[in-house]
Amino acid sequence: MGKPTGFLEYERQLPEDRPPEERINDWDEFHTHFDIEKLRIQGARCMDCGVPFCHAGMQIGRTSIGCPLNNLIPEWNDLVFRGDMDEAYKRLSLTANFPEFTGRVCPALCEGSCTLGMHDPAVTIKNIECHIIDTMFEQGKVKPRIPASSTEKRVAVVGSGPSGLACADMLNQMGHRVTVFERADRPGGLLMYGIPNMKLDKKIVERRIKLMSDEGVVFVTNTEIGRNYPAVKLVDEFDAVVLCTGASAPRRLRVDGAELKGVHYAVDFLSANTKSLLDSGLEDRKYINTEGKNVIVVGGGDTGTDCVGTAIRHGCKSVVQLEIMPEAPSERTASNPWPEWPRVKKTDYGQEEAEYVFGSDPREYLTTITRIESDERGCVSGVYTSKVSWETGAPVPVPGTEQRRDCDIVLVAMGFTGPEQELINQLTLETDARSNIKAKEGVHKTSMKGIFAAGDCRRGQSLVVWAIREGREAAAAVNEYLMK
């Protein structure tokens, strides 16, 4: 805990983000840090709650309770309050492989289950976590950890997203020889190309990749298993294989006109933008440019928000974000009690920026696209939308609510249906009813001996923090398999 009476004396505060009028003109991170004294005050709010649900790490149905990594949150909150950042970092590192990632992009399940949050705003756990690790890197205290000995067992990790990196990190520290295969030109997977630079600066990702390389992990890029590297060869050359390929098959927009020029899936839009930004500062123009365009984003999650923020930085003419679900309540409902994750309305950075540029929140709820209109060149010229009703348990268009909207670019951010199937079929792995690789949670063994699965390709589309947990669990399962 922090100060025994801290939660009574201090209010929750977060450092102010860079203002929208400034940040929309660049691709730099928009979050900032407190000075250490203000951070200590926030750590002091951690109360002596007896049973800290913040690190419970439980999944009940579709509801998460507490941190999936079981971070020792009250311990490092107390250490930050006492000014011992070095020890706080040691405690954080016991459970968190990449706090610089989760401290930036995790929705903070821990804060949703903070005991103080029952009656007051929760402790600023996520901000404290990010500050600890950033401070350690700035002070040069995050050093390569070279394993003392090697088992000479060879493990291939396919995919370098959060689950793949976590799995590789743990296996390497166990003394195994780890090679990570990535089909893109840079390691990092979702962290590199799925999340925009203003939310997660790619220098942060590259810094961690370099650290892992210095520790002995081998990264092989531009290599897609099953295409330019035979799957059979992988199985033959390595003692164990861990599939961490993610859930990258997008949910398709199934309306007339979905095949027109100007309809793009969010993953393609965001990844091309980041690659061009890293390669040339967008000078090569090898990205989907929304400058001067009327943009409609289909989907209301984090990816949809990232599309809004990216389009605004391009200089779009307008942007609308369509959500098929109803608007969330401003406060918890009786059916969503603490310590469940609070399903309440949040205004993220993309919406804040749209309000600044265009004067209103871009989100329209209970709305769906019914068809897309084409011009004479086969390009998008407009879309038709309709309000929907959920009275029957499924979205049904409401008669008389259809309207036409000017549109040049449609960005589809409707989530993902599961992993791509080609490699799974080549390896003849069993899948579940949702097309995910079939492997029991915590065990991670697939239907083929020596092959394991972790992350979104096993559990379906989820959060970075759950992917890291899966990578850690899979590493433990692989180690047990190899050392028997």
Whole-angstrom Cα Rg for the chain: 23
pLDDT in tens, the chain (484 residues): 678 899 999 999 999 999 999 999 999 999 999 999 999 999 999 998 989 999 999 988 778 899 999 999 999 999 999 999 999 999 999 999 999 999 999 999 999 999 999 999 999 999 999 999 999 999 999 999 999 999 999 999 999 999 999 999 999 999 999 999 999 999 999 999 999 999 999 999 999 999 999 999 999 999 999 999 999 999 999 999 999 999 999 999 999 999 999 999 999 999 999 999 999 999 999 999 999 999 999 998 999 999 999 999 999 999 999 999 999 999 999 999 999 999 999 999 999 999 999 999 999 999 999 999 999 999 999 999 999 999 999 999 999 999 999 999 999 999 999 999 999 999 999 999 999 999 998 999 999 999 999 999 999 999 999 999 999 999 999 999 999 8
Exposed / middle / buried, residue 62 (Cβ in 10 Å: 0-12, 13-18, 19+): exposed
Q: Given CATH 1.10.1060.10, say whether it is the number of domain 6-138.
A: yes
d(CA 434, CA 437): 9
pTM of the model: 0.96
Domain ranges of the chain: 6-138, 154-248+417-483, 252-414
Q: How far from 267 is each of 189, 250, 303, CA to CA, in Å?
A: 11, 8, 8
pLDDT of residue 64: 85
Question: Coil, strand, or helix at residue 385?
Answer: strand
Q: How far from 378 is each of 24, 261, 264, 369, CA to CA, in Å?
A: 32, 6, 14, 18
* Residues pairing with 240 in the sheet: 155
Q: How far from 247 is each of 159, 437, 457, CA to CA, in Å?
A: 11, 10, 5
pLDDT of residue 3: 85
Cβ contact 148:234 at 8 Å: no
CATH number for domain 252-414, candidates 3.50.50.60, 3.90.226.10, 1.10.579.10, 3.30.470.20: 3.50.50.60
Cβ contact 312:292 at 8 Å: no
Strands 380-389 and 367-374: what pairing? Answer: antiparallel
Cβ contact 346:331 at 8 Å: no
Please identify which residue in the block is written with the tokens 């469940």.
340
d(CA 298, CA 375): 20
Q: How far from 331 is each of 111, 362, 364, 464, CA to CA, in Å?
A: 15, 21, 19, 25
Q: Which residues, at least 6 apart from 388, have a Cβ–Cβ distance to it below 8 Å?
A: 324, 366, 367, 368, 395, 396, 397, 398
Work out the number of other CB atoms within 10 angstroms of the CB of residue 426: 14
Q: How far is CA 17 from the centre of its chain?
A: 20
**Domain pair 154-248+417-483 / 252-414, same fold:** yes
Architecture of domain 154-248+417-483: 3-Layer(bba) Sandwich (3.50)
pLDDT of residue 63: 83
pLDDT of residue 61: 79
